[in-house]
Structure 1
Amino acid sequence: MKRFSLFIVLLLAFVASVAQVKMKFELQNIPKSKDSIPEYFLAGSFNNWKPNDADFKFLKGADGNYVIEKQFPAGRYEYKITRGNWTKVESGAKGNTVGNRSVKLQNDTVVKVMVLNWADEFKKQLPNHTASVNVKLLDSVFPVSQLGTTRRVWIYLPPSYAQSKKKYPVIYMHDGQNLFDEFTGGYGEWGIDEILDKISAEGGKEFIVVGIDHGGSERLKEYNPYDSQYGKGKGKLYVDFLVNNLKPFIDKNYHTIKDANNTSIVGSSMGGLISMYALATYPKVFGKAGIFSPAFWLAKPIEEDLKNALPNLNNNKIYFVAGTLEGKAMIRDINAVYQILNPTGNNKNIILIEKADGEHKEWFWNREFTDFYKFISK
């Protein structure tokens, strides 16, 4: 009888954990737009921020109001309203960019949304250039033969580089648009150059940083070594480019320390996923990795690949970081990978940092980068 009661308790707990919450969004006081027949969409963390997802299109009711009704697992979600693409996303009253909306679902919820204006109703005001003088454009069309394309590549050279003959460790980073310059960063920037300039001024260890732009609409495939619902994965080819094309070029033309212990690879979201794959596949090329908010949910086969790679990762340093506000799936998946790599928790070369206020945004990765720098500098 006791066993049966325990079974019932566990069953009820499981049902509660996957319980669906009814969610109704209702648009109010919709501002005018240029569209002759306007269409409105919900884009958020529940549909990978797809701005024209037909399953999340608002429907016009008999009363003239636009609504969406969905069911979601209880949790916290972020979202925005669009008219079908990101150039037509909601904005502030004067066209200013607004942050993501947020809702925490515990019970059936009606969310009334007031859009103030649309971004395309205003002449877009470009942000300022914020890159420091130590950031250079290495090449705007660096050949990526493996993918049959070219890519813009940036390089940050330490303040002492021009006056010194010494060699420097190198950090390779993805999503180059978002690393150094607000002008090119569509969602903000990491501010890597400002962080390292400050560290250098304080006498800290200096690094060269190589930033590789992502491939726009190809990003979800180029940063994934596995096939997914977004198409055939091209991540293996991209990593081959890093190892056999880009790194040899950097080592030949700049004062670098070439060995794995002085070569790191870093990225966030999809960039975190491909960084983990790169280190696991080429542990004698990339000795250290910064895995920020990785999109492991889109690449479950990596767990099996890491189990197979584990015997070769004894000397590598891996820094995982994620925020609680990024959702339960993020925390679950990053912990699953961490447990594979460091099951006892005794390996001080592999650490996991969880921050209660962490979000899937550049400001969070900017803040956490300094601690990662300290980790790889030891």
Structure 2
Amino acid sequence: MVDIWDITIPEFTGDETRKLYIYLPRSYDSAQDKRYPVLYMFDGQNVFFDSEATYGKSWGLKDYLDFNDVDMIVVAPACNQNPDNGRLREYSPFTFKDPDYGTIKGFGKDTMEWIINELKPEIDKDFRTLADREHTFIAGSSMGGLMSLYAITEYNHIFSRAGIFSPSIWTGVNKVAKMIKNADMAPDTVIYMDYGSEEFGNHKHMLQKFAMISSVLMKKKVLLNTRVVPNGTHSEASWERQVPFFMNTLFYNL
């Protein structure tokens, strides 16, 4: 079941509403004493339903979780859809410049503070969650992948595991590397990170940049599963096909 709430985030978009998608596992109503881990995801409009997805194709995550009886709650707020690069601003941990987008002032820290200090407490109050770090995860793709990488490094005391799909490290690979190097990350941190073989050409030197970030993460001695996806593209259809790999990593030895 997916509950859909209308929410506001006054810090970013005032009284304008956006959707919050909350997936509850099939056992939620029948197992009244059971508590569940929680996965927070970015770009919630693209996670569950093709009819809601920005480009008409979602990750189809509800179908996967239902079919495999995955006992996990998923909380996925929709992104900022302001045409003035609202999504880029909310989903960047730092300010960057780009020939196509100009200067993007990053409000990623504010986004994460909202998730941690406002959204997570509300979810933990309203649902039977396992609210501790060990059972709190985060995931996203593209700019949401960059934010998931930011979350697992800078907020490692909150999130123990992350799924990072096609992260937009092109926005500032040296800043990303420095962020990881300076992070205080527990050795039990689990990270799944991938990039599609067909999307390396979308930005200059992306193969080298992805290899660099993977190497920096490995040097932090975290538990990293990193992949180059054969024929993978920068699309929800491709990320959907990676869900089984991600889920195997997410729940490995948990």
Is this a same-fold pair by TM over 0.5?
Answer: yes
Counterpart selection for 1:181 from 49, 60, 77: 49
Q: Partners in 1 of 2:53 and 2:61 — Cα distance? A: 12
- Aligned residues of 1:146 and 1:238 also touching (Cα < 8 A): no
Q: RMSD of the TM alignment (CA)?
A: 1.6
Counterpart selection for 2:9 from 119, 144, 167: 144
Q: Partners in 1 of 2:161 and 2:210 — Cα distance? A: 17
Which of the two has higher C-alpha Rg? 1
Counterpart selection for 1:195 from 64, 67, 76: 64
Shift of 1:348: 7.1
1:268-301 CA distance string (max 9 Å, x none): 0000001110111110111110000000001331
Q: Partners in 1 of 2:122 and 2:217 — Cα distance? A: 31
Shift of 1:326: 0.6
Indicate whether 1:256 and 2:129 are aligned: yes
Shift of 1:360: 0.6
SS where residue 161 of structure 1 aligns? coil
Tell me what 2:77 maps to: 212
Structure number having the greater strand percentage: 1
- Aligned residues of 1:272 and 1:293 also touching (Cα < 8 A): yes
Tell me what 2:20 maps to: 153
One-letter amino acid matched to 1:164: A
> Identity over the aligned pairs, expressed in percent?
35
One-letter amino acid matched to 2:48: F
1:141-196 CA distance string (max 9 Å, x none): x2324335353211010011011120001110111111111111122100010010
Q: Show the 5 A alignment for 1:341-352.
A: 341-343=217-219, 347=221, 349-352=223-226
Shift of 1:330: 3.4
- Aligned residues of 1:319 and 1:351 also touching (Cα < 8 A): yes
Q: Partners in 2 of 1:221 and 1:359 — Cα distance? A: 24
SS where residue 342 of structure 1 aligns? helix
- Aligned residues of 2:162 and 2:190 also touching (Cα < 8 A): yes
Indicate whether 1:332 and 2:208 are aligned: yes
Shift of 1:370: 1.2
TM-score w.r.t. length of structure 1: 0.60
Tell me what 1:163 maps to: 30
Tell me what 1:361 maps to: 235
Q: Partners in 1 of 2:66 and 2:50 — Cα distance? A: 17
Shift of 1:231: 2.1
Stretches of structure 2 that go unaligned for 5 or more consecutive residues are 98-102
SS where residue 68 of structure 2 aligns? helix
Tell me what 2:94 maps to: 226
- Aligned residues of 2:166 and 2:195 also touching (Cα < 8 A): yes
Q: Partners in 2 of 1:189 and 1:148 — Cα distance? A: 24
Counterpart selection for 2:2 from 104, 127, 135: 135
Q: Partners in 2 of 1:281 and 1:199 — Cα distance? A: 32
Q: Partners in 1 of 2:180 and 2:152 — Cα distance? A: 10
- Aligned residues of 2:186 and 2:222 also touching (Cα < 8 A): no
One-letter amino acid matched to 1:295: S
Q: Partners in 2 of 1:338 and 1:197 — Cα distance? A: 32
One-letter amino acid matched to 2:121: P
One-letter amino acid matched to 1:214: C
Q: Show the 5 A alignment for 1:218-297.
A: 218-229=86-97, 230-297=103-170
SS where residue 136 of structure 1 aligns? strand
Structure 1 residues 287 and 146: alpha-carbon distance in aligned structure 2, compared to 1, 3 A threshold: farther
Counterpart selection for 2:180 from 291, 294, 306: 306
Shift of 1:222: 0.6
Q: Partners in 2 of 1:238 and 1:334 — Cα distance? A: 24
Shift of 1:322: 1.0
Bigger relative contact order, structure 1 or 2, given CA contacts below 8 A and separation 6+?
Answer: 2
Shift of 1:135: 1.1
Structure 1 residues 348 and 315: alpha-carbon distance in aligned structure 2, compared to 1, 3 A threshold: closer
TM-score w.r.t. length of structure 2: 0.88
Structure 1 residues 278 and 348: alpha-carbon distance in aligned structure 2, compared to 1, 3 A threshold: closer
